[in-house]
Amino acid sequence: MKRFLISACLIGLNTKYDGGNNIEPCFCEMVKKGVAVPFCPEQAGGLPTPRDCSEIADGDGRDAIDGKARVITDKGQDVTENFLRGAKEALKLTKLLNADKAILKSKSPSCGCKCIYDGTFKKSLRRGMGVTAAYLQEHGINVIDSDEYLKQK
């Protein structure tokens, strides 16, 4: 059976920065059926839950991977290395699962696939990917935006 990765917050695990989750019943069913495996790259990268809100400044996840942008908290702390570490752990898990896709949380600085917050902490969005989404995509994993997935259901 082919399994895939899914953002842990989407199945009700309290992994969001604020200690909450983004539960969607259809995603919970995927885990119950054994086709999806939950994962939180921010926790895997060493960040606590709850944690300070983070956004990517001066670019997106691809830029952060290339060293051209930084992931910064709303208190000014640079957490780029944590985000990069979490992305690498996500890729390890996809390889272990022999997975070729991941359903990732929209707008997240880790998991966003289509758009992310713009680094100003003013809830403004811009096109681009989060760090984990970009890293997985660069390594051949099909990343699927959770909001887009739900619209198609």
22-71 per-position pLDDT tens digit: 999 999 999 999 999 999 999 999 999 999 999 999 999 999 999 999 99
**Element of type H or E holding 71:** strand 70-73
DSSP assignment, residue 76?
S
Mean pLDDT value across residues 78-106: 97
Which whole number is the average pLDDT over 131-149?
97
* Stretch 82-94: mean pLDDT: 98
Domain residue spans of the chain: 4-152
- State residue 43's pLDDT score: 98
Report how far apart, in Å, the C-alpha atoms of 13 and of each of 20, 39, 109 are.
8, 9, 18
CA dist., res. 48 & res. 108, Å (int) = 16
pLDDT for res 2:
80
Q: Rounded CA gap, 103 and 52, in Å?
A: 24
3-state percent helix, strand, coil for the chain, nearest multiple of 5? 35, 20, 45
Tokens 């604020």 sit on residue = 18
| Residue 1 confidence (pLDDT) | 72
Mean of the pLDDT values across residues 82-103? 97
Q: Could you read off the pLDDT of 103-136 as tens digits, one per residue?
A: 999 999 999 999 999 999 999 999 999 999 999 9
Segment 10-24 mean pLDDT = 98
Q: Residue 54 is which amino acid? A: S
What's the predicted TM-score (pTM) here? 0.97
pLDDT of residue 153: 77
Instruction: Label the pairing between strands 36-39 and 4-7.
Output: parallel
